[in-house]
Structure 1
Amino acid sequence: MAALYIHIPFCKTRCNYCDFYKSTSCAKTEDYIEALEREMEYRRGYFGDTPVDTVFFGGGTPSLLPPALLQRLIDKARSLWNLEEVSEITVEANPDDITEHYLDELARTDINRLSFGVQSFIDRDLKLLGRRHNAQQAVEAIRAAQAKGFGNISLDLIFGIPGMSLREWENNVLRAVILGVQHISAYCLTISDNTVFGDMAEAGTLIPASDEICEEQFMICHRILTDSGFCHYEISNYARGEEFRSLHNWAYWCGKTYLGLGPSAHSYDGDQRIYSVNNLEKYIDLAGTDRIYGREILSRIDKYNEYIMTALRTDYGIRRDALSERFGFKGLLYFEYCAGKFLRNGLIVREGNVYRIPPEKLMVSNSIISDLFYIEE
């Protein structure tokens, strides 16, 4: 199976923490849709005979587009690739874009999964983050979508927000559970360069939450969600049962083929990573040609390191047989040699044939994983 990602770069405003590529003007929406269609035609042979299992509209803010335009892109995709077995079509949405009319139109499309960028149910946090909605709008948008029959809804939350107490974070997670959504993604706030938060942190006007607070908030989230019946299947992701895992993101973590369309979008075919220019004007002018792409050819060592990184992010973990099948007995021996010290101090656990990072150590997983990489001397 394969995955299709379609980037919608438009936003009404830029959030204070966001470092994704986007445009705060929607003036070129039609030009952009036409450019996407040209790129789709240009890459029509990308999947070969492989069926596409998932489609994901990300951004940016896809919910700024009329549902009819999203369906137009889905129809275009169906005309070029095999979407007969597609099981999940997701659109990211901002709560303040959701109206009864918008949901009525959305229900007429093939979209069957909504992902709401809630981030917090505390208005103070939302204002600090630069979000356009308030907490009440988030609750009303989710309930309205449920009332319209959408039965696969995800919401995003952010922990590590400066000034958020442990009790406030606990209430955030509990409120998400009470809303009855099927999937919750909980991300630690990252303060990046070239963002409002990055500038504030450099100036000393924003004090990031400590690592200890972030770890404690992560474990609060993990406890509440697992006690509420959610399965923790990836560092930041929880699903209310196997059937509600994000199949699209799972394709990334499992190294499946995926195609990304639009400026700054990435694709992967098992051997190379292809990335598009992160400039809307250049993309519109040159879409449908090879001039918008850069490429990175992955070596065997690159593939090994990426497998280690993605597998240890998930509950699937690293299986000895899968590792040996992909990288030979030598690859297995190398991993087990490097993993030895982490097994001794409990940062990695082995359960039969499987190696995993225990939940209480996931917040330091990056340092663990990087020490397991194969370094060519």
Structure 2
Amino acid sequence: MYTTRYKSHHDAARKLKELYTLDQPKDAYLRSILNGQAKSRRAIYIHVPFCNKVCSFCPFHRPDRLKRREYHKYLTEEIHRIREYPYMDAPIDAINFGGGTPTSLLPEQMRIILAELRQSFSIRENAEISVESSATELTDEMLGVLLEGGVNRLSIGIQTFQDKARKLLGRRGSGGQAAERVANAIRSGIMNTSIDLIYNYPGQSLEALKEDLSVIKE
């Protein structure tokens, strides 16, 4: 399965250092871009590598939850660092929050991050500000914070509205609750709302897929 087997953590650490040590030429190239003026439309991507519940089909690494409590501080520091470059002077066309599950952060953390972005960068009035979320994290409080921060697009990880299948896939809450959270987001004014849907999972019937599509249509 593996081409190389390391016999000690020292060997593994040495290899990781080789792979992830800063590449000076690439760093210099990146800085040369950041120190120049932007020549095309740009977007900011904010990565939040945390989830409150890991789906059964998810292959990604899970960072220490303790780091989540301070994550808004890390992001704020990075925003302050990057905003000093000339490349960031021009207006921003889009901001995308991905993960992980960005809304696994506390509402107050999201409020701080969104406010910091607006204070640090020139964001176009019609910029798309998009956030990935699960249905469970879209509480009224979180939704209020997102709207206050100018979020105008949501990508919601539903996967399925079938209760039995949601348990199989490790999704929290019932299908009915998930559907209501989606409807609530749209009612709040975030009309640009998309959902993730999984099909052909173990045991899924054609009828179950049709029912999911029917819920989406409604």
| Alignment TM-score > 0.5, same fold | yes
Q: Which residue of 2 aligns with 1:104?
A: 144
Query: Within 5 Å, which residues of 2 pair with 1:121-270?
Result: 121-178=161-218
Contact 1:117 1:155 in 2 (8 A): yes
> Could you say what secondary structure the match of 2:198 adopts?
strand
Counterpart-to-counterpart distance in 2, 1:86 and 1:10:
29
Q: From the superposition, tell whether residues 177 and 47 of structure 1 become closer, same or farther in structure 2 (CA, over 3 Å).
A: farther
Q: From the superposition, tell whether residues 116 and 47 of structure 1 become closer, same or farther in structure 2 (CA, over 3 Å).
A: same
Q: From the superposition, tell whether residues 134 and 46 of structure 1 become closer, same or farther in structure 2 (CA, over 3 Å).
A: farther
Contact 1:67 1:109 in 2 (8 A): no
- State the shift of 1:84 in Å: 2.7
- State the shift of 1:48 in Å: 4.2
Contact 2:72 2:112 in 1 (8 A): no
Counterpart-to-counterpart distance in 1, 2:89 and 2:75:
22
Contact 1:21 1:60 in 2 (8 A): no
**Residue type matched to 1:7 in 2?**
H
Q: Which residue of 2 aligns with 1:34?
A: 73
Superposed CA RMSD: 2.2
> Aligned residues, how many?
177
Q: Which residue of 2 aligns with 1:188?
A: none
Q: Which residue of 2 aligns with 1:59?
A: 99
Gaps of 5+ in 1: 179-377
Question: Could you list the per-position Cα deviations for residues 224-274 of structure 1 after superposition, in whole angstroms to 9, with x for gaps in the alignment?
Answer: xxxxxxxxxxxxxxxxxxxxxxxxxxxxxxxxxxxxxxxxxxxxxxxxxxx
Contact 2:110 2:145 in 1 (8 A): no
- Pairing partner for 1:69 from 109, 113, 135: 109
Contact 1:52 1:83 in 2 (8 A): yes
Q: Which aligned runs of 4 or more in structure 1 are off by greater than 6 angstroms?
A: none
Q: Taking structure 1 as the reference length, what is the TM-score of the superposition?
A: 0.43
Q: Which residue of 1 aligns with 2:23?
A: none
Q: Taking structure 2 as the reference length, what is the TM-score of the superposition?
A: 0.71
Gaps of 5+ in 2: 1-40
Q: From the superposition, tell whether residues 21 and 52 of structure 1 become closer, same or farther in structure 2 (CA, over 3 Å).
A: farther
> Could you say what secondary structure the match of 2:150 adopts?
coil
Contact 1:14 1:24 in 2 (8 A): no
